[in-house]
Structure 1
Amino acid sequence: MKKILLATTMLAGTAGFAAAEITMSGSAVMGVGDNGTDTVSKMETYLTFSASGESDSGISFGFDQTIATYDTDGGLNDDGTSVYISGAFGKLSMGSVAEADEVATLSDIGGIGGLGVDNVAEAFSGDSAGRQTHDVNYSYSAGDFSIAASTRIGATGDGDSYAVGAKYTFGEMYVGLGYNDDNATPVVAGTVTSLYAGGTAGAVSVAAMYSSWDADSGAEADAWGVTTSYTAGALTLSAAYSDNDNVADAAFGVGAAYDLGGGASVVGGVADLGVDTVWEAGVSLSF
C-alpha cells in the first residue's frame, strides 16, 4: 500500500523527544451486490493515520486511527483507534485492539464488503456472538514464536473477560492456539478454545481454524472453516467453507480478484450462506 508521508524524521528541539513520523494511507471499494433480498450498491472508504516516535531511552510509541465511510450512512465513523508503546519488553496497546485468542483469521469471499462466509467459522472466537470487546492487548515475539494476552478493563456484567494466544511460524507456515474466557456476558458466558493452521506454498495459500465453545450454562458448540486461494499472474481465485453447530447449513463460496496494477483490482464473489445466496462485484482501491 502506498503511503503519503506527511512528516518524516521531524526533530524537536525539546529534550526528551527523538524522531517522529506521521503517515496517511487509504483504501476504498465500490460495486454492487445481492444481499439476499435486493440488488444494492456498495461503497466503503477507509483513511488511516499512523504516528510513531521513539524516546531517548529507545522506547517506541505511536497510534493508529482509521476513519471509515459506509454507504449505509455516508458519515464518518471511527473504525478503530489504538495507542501503543513497545520495546524489548514487548508491545502494549490500548483502544481498538485484537482479542488475543484470534492469532489468525480466515479471509472472506467478495472483496467489497465481504459476504460473511468466514463469520460462520469465527462465530465463537474473539468478540463474536456478543462476547466482550477487549481494550488492552499485550504481545511479545521471540523469533518465530509469539504470544499475546488481552482483556476488557471494567468489563460490563458480573464477571471478567480475558484471552490468551500463541503462534509459531516456520517458513511460510504457521500454527496457533487461542483461549477466550468471558464471564461478563451472561448470554455467551464460557470459554472458547481455538486452533489455527495455514501457510503458503508457491501459488497456493490455505488457512484453517477450529473453535470449541463450552458455555457456563452447559451448552457446547463447535465451529470450523477453511479458506484457500490460488494466484496465477494478476489473477487470484479463492474459495471458502465454514460451518458451526448452531447453523442448519454450512456456508461456502468462491471469489476472484484481478490486479490492474497501481493499487486497483477488480473483485467479486458468490456465496451460499444456507438461508440466502449472495454475491458482490466491483473494484478495490488502495492508496
Structure 2
Amino acid sequence: MKKVLFATTALVASAGFASADVALSGSAQMGVQGGSGDAVTQFVQDIDVTFTLSGETPGGITFGAAVDLDEDAGAVGTDDAGVAIFISGDFGTLTMGDTDGGFDAGMQEVNIGSPGSINDDETTHAGYSGNAGLDGTFDGQILSYSYSVSGFTITGSIEQDDGATIARPFNLPDDGTAADGLEADEVFGIGASYAGSFGGGSYTVGAGYQMTQDSHAAVAGDQELSIVGVSATVALDNGLSAGINYSQIDVDLGTVIAAADRSFSGTHVAVGASYSFGDFAVHANYGEFDWDSNATVEDATGFGLAASYDLGGGLSAHVGYGDSDIGSVNGVLTSTATSATAARTDASTWSVGLNMSF
C-alpha cells in the first residue's frame, strides 16, 4: 500500500493567535483471527485514522484536539467518542473528552514493550486489566487536569453523571428488578506517577484511586464502588522490559443483595515482560482477578502472547494468542439470593496478520 503523507497545514485563526498545525496519521491491519468456544475463524481487517490539531498563542499557551476515526462516535450511549480537546501551559494541562481518568493516568499496564497483535489477543483475555478503573461508567467523557514537574506527574479527573442508567462495572449484579443497571454520582479519580532513569535503563512507578457513590438504581443511600492500585515498569537498554500492577476493588451495595454481608472486595494482579532483538519483538503477560467468596463476580485468570517481525517501511507481521479461564460466580447473583450456577469456562483467541503504520 502506498504510504500516505499529509503535509502540515497552517490555519490562520485570527491576528491574536499563532497558526495552528493539522496532522494526519493512521494504521491498517489485515489477517485472520479465530479461537475456541464461540470464536469463529474469519478474516479480520481494521483501519485507524487520527487527526491531530495543535497550536500555540503568542503568550505560550498550547491548545489542540485529536479525533480518532477508529472510534464509533455515533454509537448508542456515546458522546463524541474518540475526541479529546486540551489546553496546556505553565499551569498544567486541562483535557476534556475521551481521555484517561486519574486512576488510568497514574497506573502503567504490564504490556510495556509489547509489539501487539492485530486482534489484541494479548490484552483482551480475562486476566488482563487496562487499568480503566471506573472510566466509562457514563458516556466516557472525562475532564482531567494534570501537572508535571521533575519526573512527577499528578492527574485528577471527573466523569460527570449524565443522568443515564449505567452499565454494571466489574460485572456487578442485577438487582432483580426492572432497573437493570446502576445509577451513580460523578466518578472522581486521582493518579500520580514518577519516571526516572538509571545506568542501562529507565523506570516508572505509579498509583491511582477512583470512586463513585449512590451506585445502585433501586436503592437509596451511599453505596460505593472504588478501586485503588499501584504499578511499576522498567525498560532496559538491551531490549528487555517488564511491568507489574496490583489493584483492589471495593464494593458496598447496601441492601441490594439479600445476604448477611453486602460488601465485598476483589483484587487484580498482573505481570508482563517483553524483549526486542533486531527486527523481532516478543511479549508475554499473565493476570488474575480474585474475589471474596461472597462476591457476585467471577474469578478469572488469563495469559497473553504476542510476537512481531519488522519488515521495514512501516510494515510488520504479527501473531497473537490469548487464553482465558473464568470460574463460577462466588456468591449470589440477585436480590432474590439466587445461587450462582455459572460453569467454569475456558476460552482462547488467536490472530495472525500484517500491520501497516502510516
TM-score of the aligned structures, taking structure 1 as reference length: 0.88
- CA distance in 2 between counterparts of 1:205 and 1:164 reads 26
C-alpha contact 1:164 1:179 (8 A) present in aligned 2: yes
Aligned CA-pair RMSD? 2.7
Alignment of 1:121-136 (within 5 A): 121-122=128-129, 125-127=132-134, 131-132=137-138, 133-136=140-143
Matched, 1:238 2:273: no
Alignment of 1:150-229 (within 5 A): 150-156=157-163, 157-171=183-197, 172-183=202-213, 185-186=215-216, 189-201=224-236, 202-217=238-253, 218-229=263-274
Counterpart in the other structure of 1:251: 302
- CA distance in 2 between counterparts of 1:4 and 1:94 reads 29
Q: Which amino acid aligns with 1:285?
A: M
1:100-136 superposed Cα distances (whole Å, 9 cap, x missing partner): 11122233785112124466342774236x7343521
The count of aligned residue pairs is 279
Call closer, same or farther: CA 1:27–1:127 in 2, change over 3 Å.
farther
C-alpha contact 2:134 2:211 (8 A) present in aligned 1: no
More strand by share: 1
After TM superposition, give the deviation of residue 282 of structure 1 in Å.
0.5
Q: 5+ unaligned residues in a row in structure 2: which ranges?
A: 164-182, 218-222, 254-262, 291-296, 326-345
Matched, 1:139 2:146: yes
Moved more, 101-110 or 198-207: 101-110
- CA distance in 1 between counterparts of 2:80 and 2:161 reads 21
Alignment of 1:1-287 (within 5 A): 4-8=5-9, 10=10, 12=12, 14-36=14-36, 37-68=39-70, 80-102=82-104, 103=106, 104-107=108-111, 111-115=117-121, 116-117=123-124, 120-122=127-129, 125-127=132-134, 131-132=137-138, 133-156=140-163, 157-171=183-197, 172-183=202-213, 185-186=215-216, 189-201=224-236, 202-217=238-253, 218-245=263-290, 246-274=297-325, 275-287=346-358
After TM superposition, give the deviation of residue 58 of structure 1 in Å.
1.4
After TM superposition, give the deviation of residue 285 of structure 1 in Å.
1.1
C-alpha contact 1:155 1:161 (8 A) present in aligned 2: no
After TM superposition, give the deviation of residue 11 of structure 1 in Å.
6.4
Name the SS of the counterpart of 2:103 in structure 1.
coil
C-alpha contact 1:30 1:43 (8 A) present in aligned 2: yes
Call closer, same or farther: CA 1:180–1:13 in 2, change over 3 Å.
closer
Name the SS of the counterpart of 1:46 in structure 2.
strand
Q: 5+ unaligned residues in a row in structure 1: which ranges?
A: none
After TM superposition, give the deviation of residue 190 of structure 1 in Å.
1.2
1:164-197 superposed Cα distances (whole Å, 9 cap, x missing partner): 0000011110100000112264389411001110
Q: Which amino acid aligns with 1:283?
A: L
Call closer, same or farther: CA 1:65–1:13 in 2, change over 3 Å.
closer
- CA distance in 2 between counterparts of 1:249 and 1:14 reads 55
Larger Rg belongs to: 2
C-alpha contact 1:109 1:271 (8 A) present in aligned 2: no
**Percent of aligned pairs with the same amino acid:** 29
Q: Which amino acid aligns with 1:60?
A: T
After TM superposition, give the deviation of residue 35 of structure 1 in Å.
3.9
Name the SS of the counterpart of 1:101 in structure 2.
helix
C-alpha contact 1:117 1:241 (8 A) present in aligned 2: no
C-alpha contact 1:124 1:192 (8 A) present in aligned 2: no
- CA distance in 2 between counterparts of 1:209 and 1:118 reads 16
Q: Which amino acid aligns with 1:50?
A: T
Call closer, same or farther: CA 1:56–1:40 in 2, change over 3 Å.
same
C-alpha contact 2:94 2:144 (8 A) present in aligned 1: yes
- CA distance in 1 between counterparts of 2:349 and 2:232 reads 28
Call closer, same or farther: CA 1:281–1:127 in 2, change over 3 Å.
farther
C-alpha contact 2:110 2:233 (8 A) present in aligned 1: no
TM-score of the aligned structures, taking structure 2 as reference length: 0.71
- CA distance in 1 between counterparts of 2:289 and 2:13 reads 58
Counterpart in the other structure of 2:174: none
